[in-house]
A = this chain, B = another copy of it.
Amino acid sequence: MSSQKEQSIKILETIPSFRSWRQQFIKQDKQVAFVPTMGSLHEGHLNLVKQASEHCPIVVVSIFVNPAQFGPNEDLDKYPRTLSHDLELLRSLNCVDSVFLPKVKDIYPSGIPLEIEKQKGTFIEVKGISHQLEGTTRPLFFRGVSTVVAKLFNIVQPNHTFFGQKDAQQCAVIRALISDLHFPIEMHVGATKREHNGLAMSSRNQYLTPEMRNYATALYNALTTIKNGLGKGERNREILLSKGYEIIEEATKTVKEKNLGFELKLDYLSVADPTTLEELQEIEEGKGAIISGALFVGTTRIIDNLLFNCTL
């Protein structure tokens, strides 16, 4: 049985066609909710879409794999693209009004070579919270994210927008982008969806075999242990982190001993200030923290985070 929205989900592939479709809701004074995605949708995305539909009568999802947030040696080419399955999933929600599917040349009229020296045109940086954590290994990542999100905001002109907590630093960057550039948009953060074993859902999980997914939970377990330590009143950074490192080390060792054909390699564990994203040396009583980390599972890099006494 199909609802009206399922039947009438509007696929728009150009900026002018999107703008003209959008126009009617300005005249009707209907609020628009926007969920920007890179496709390869999973429960986490679908949850954001459902949340969006609870806030606004009109729901827009964009699917756009954004070259500007990939480094020259990253996985832009192999990033999973599953459009027909994505559309099927969105139709099944019965709450999406339009899916915006722009082309790279339309979003980046000045082109977008991956090498930064060759890049021309307009780029946005959120200084102070883009260089640490994910920004350490991916120095241009948040510049790419900020730039594409601003472009999409100006095309979609949403009243509300929805991002997933799994990308905690991205949430902080987009919140600052909206506030600093005065976009008339309210931001919402959706909870991280997890597999039954705790692994945070991510499009990149598709790169992992079932066995890899099993050992990948070491990251979630490490973060949980740190959060539990905080919950029990431990405030010393080194003690908190050491419990996390232990869990990762143990999993790394097991994978090695069992000779499973891949390696686990920790990128970082972090306990950071929720506002400045700077590492906390002592966690002051009553102050919150973002507990986050990144782990290589074979060649796939996964990230995850938990919040302690704070929101994003």
Residue of B nearest to A146 (CB): B122
Q: How far is the CB of A14 from chain B (nearest CB, A)?
A: 12
- Alpha-carbon separation in the docked complex, A121 to B176 (Å): 7
Q: How far is the CB of A76 from chain B (nearest CB, A)?
A: 20
Indicate if the CB atoms of B184 and A157 lie closer than 8 Å. yes
| A280 / chain B contacts, CB cutoff of 8 Å | none
Residue of B nearest to A120 (CB): B128
Knowing A26-B26, A27-B29, A29-B27, say if A181 contacts B122 (CB, 8 Å). yes
Assembly stoichiometry (copies): 2
Chain A contact-residue range equals 20 to 34
Indicate if the CB atoms of B154 and A122 lie closer than 8 Å. no
Knowing A157-B184, A181-B122, A184-B154, say if A176 contacts B110 (CB, 8 Å). yes
Q: How far is the CB of A226 from chain B (nearest CB, A)?
A: 27
Indicate if the CB atoms of B128 and A154 lie closer than 8 Å. no
Contact for A15 among B29, B108, B182, CB less than 8 A? B182
Interface string of A152-189 (1 = CB under 8 A from B): 00110100000000000000000011011111100000
Indicate if the CB atoms of B27 and A151 lie closer than 8 Å. no
Interface residues of A in 107-135 (CB under 8 A from B): 107-110, 119-129
Residue of B nearest to A177 (CB): B122
Say yes or no: is A19 at the interface (Cβ < 8 Å to chain B).
yes
Say yes or no: is A150 at the interface (Cβ < 8 Å to chain B).
yes
